[in-house]
Amino acid sequence: MIKIVNGVKNHFSSQTAQANTTAISATKTHNWLKLSSPWLKAAALTASLGAMSMLAYAACQVPKSYYSNVFCTSSSNHFLALKDSGQPVALLDNRGRRVADLSRYTGVDVSKISEGLIPVQRMGKLGYVNLAGREIIPAVYDVIRGDSQTRGWARAANGNRIVVKKGGMFGVIDIRNTVVLPFSPNYVSISDFSGNRAKITTRAGTQWIDAYGKAIAAPASAATQSITARNPSTPVVKTTTNIKAPLPSTTAPRTTVATSQSAIEALNALQRPEAINSGPVVAPMSSSASSGPEIWQPEQRDGKWGFVNYSGVPMITFSFNQVTPFSEGLAGVRMGDKWGFVNLAGELVIPFNYTESTVQRIRGANYKGVQPFMFTGGKAWVGNTANGAQMCIDTEGKYVSC
């Protein structure tokens, strides 16, 4: 899935705003439109970094170059160039000059540029390159799927540590590819490191490790939460040293369009199963706006299609020949004769693998009442066989029976 960001399909045209940090995954990861516009990216940064002003981040402008598809990334000094098909081509500097050749990779998650490393995919495996394109960590690790703590298909480097998966098992390596925590089938998931420690969810419960993979006691806050969970009747004594996490809110200023690691995480959170099952994605809203959920709306500008919020602010840039409305958290997008799917963060999560000409759009034809390239019941009609039978895919881009 080529993330045009998801990292995000951010076809950042200087006119419309930053292209979502392109998180391109191994199958042509969604053009990395994760941060669809500079404003969206700015909002995401604002959401995650807090101290950085949105206006400062929104200053991201795609440099002039001979590449036709250039996207902003989570680094203000680097940009991603893609082919029309969504295939990664190169990493550019802020003058539009190529600094790294990425053409050998099928996926690049530029929403997770961290500590000088970028997640990449080659032949279905995950590795990391530096900002010069040198493969520092070979592409031998599993693409991460179905993990609640992973946005997209890879983890970013954090504290010189990276949570990876190999042979279906989680483990931890450092940025030199030295194993810090051996891979084990008992690990259900591992959190990113924070304060030189990480939490491991095992089949038997949870445990904590330090930056060297050694078991340590749980932080006081975690221990308190555990005790409270086991003894709900026990009163919790609040002190002036407690730091409360902000409560989820659906009423944020509309001007706060997210698009950085924090913003990206906020947008990705909206696409988790619990968020999708509860209804459409909730977008930032002003107090005067409707309190109901919001999904980006298709809109055409200058002959190209993209997506805007209800205030008309571009959320996914105008880069496509045709689009379908969002359905089950995904929207079909066409470039040339090829269709792919982006998520609400602008990431191309399902690459441009489906040909418009194979769809038999005879009058009245539909799949369970919806048009091609729209999801219903977890499936989308993306083509027809020679005998006219419909071909469908699931939300991961795998062919399934219709």
Specify which residues 72 forms β-bridges with: 79
Give pLDDT, residue 302: 86
Mean pLDDT lowest for which of 230-234, 367-371, 381-385?
230-234
The whole-angstrom separation of Cα 331 and Cα 279 is: 15
Answer whether residue 169 shows pLDDT above 90: yes
Answer whether residue 338 shows pLDDT above 50: yes
The per-residue pLDDT for range 195-208, each reduced to its tens digit, is 889 999 998 889 99
Share of the chain above pLDDT 70, in %: 67
* Mean pLDDT value of segment 281-291: 31
Find, among 255, 258, 251, the residue nearest to 288 by Cα.
251
Answer whether residue 188 shows pLDDT above 90: yes
Mean pLDDT lowest for which of 103-117, 225-239, 360-374?
225-239
Contacts of 382 (CB under 8 A, 6+ apart): 339, 354, 359, 372, 373, 391, 392, 393
The whole-angstrom separation of Cα 97 and Cα 83 is: 16
Find, among 247, 178, 244, 165, the residue nearest to 212 by Cα.
178
Answer whether residue 265 shows pLDDT above 60: no
* Mean pLDDT value of segment 18-31: 36
- Between 396 and 229, residue with greater pLDDT: 396
Answer whether residue 269 shows pLDDT above 80: no
- pLDDT bin (cut points 50, 70, 90) of residue 65 is confident
Contacts of 353 (CB under 8 A, 6+ apart): 27, 28, 338, 339, 340, 397
Answer whether residue 213 shows pLDDT above 80: yes
- Between 27 and 171, residue with greater pLDDT: 171
Answer whether residue 189 shows pLDDT above 70: yes
Give pLDDT, residue 256: 29
Answer whether residue 255 shows pLDDT above 70: no
* Mean pLDDT value of segment 171-175: 95
Answer whether residue 184 shows pLDDT above 70: yes
Answer whether residue 7 shows pLDDT above 60: no
- Between 142 and 301, residue with greater pLDDT: 142
- pLDDT bin (cut points 50, 70, 90) of residue 45 is very low
Tokens at residue 82, please? 């893609």
- pLDDT bin (cut points 50, 70, 90) of residue 60 is low
The whole-angstrom separation of Cα 99 and Cα 90 is: 7
Answer whether residue 56 shows pLDDT above 50: no
**What mean pLDDT, rounded, does the chain reach?**
73
Give pLDDT, residue 166: 95
- pLDDT bin (cut points 50, 70, 90) of residue 64 is confident
- pLDDT bin (cut points 50, 70, 90) of residue 222 is low
The per-residue pLDDT for range 232-248, each reduced to its tens digit, is 443 333 333 332 333 33
Answer whether residue 144 shows pLDDT above 70: yes
Give pLDDT, residue 235: 37
Give pLDDT, residue 310: 75
Answer whether residue 190 shows pLDDT above 70: yes
Share of the chain above pLDDT 90, in %: 44
Give pLDDT, residue 367: 92
What's the full length of the chain, in residues?
402
Give pLDDT, residue 344: 83
Neighbours of 349 (CB within 10 A): 35
Q: Are 21 and 348 in contact, with CB atoms under 8 Å apart?
A: no
Q: In the chain, where are the structural domains located?
A: 359-402
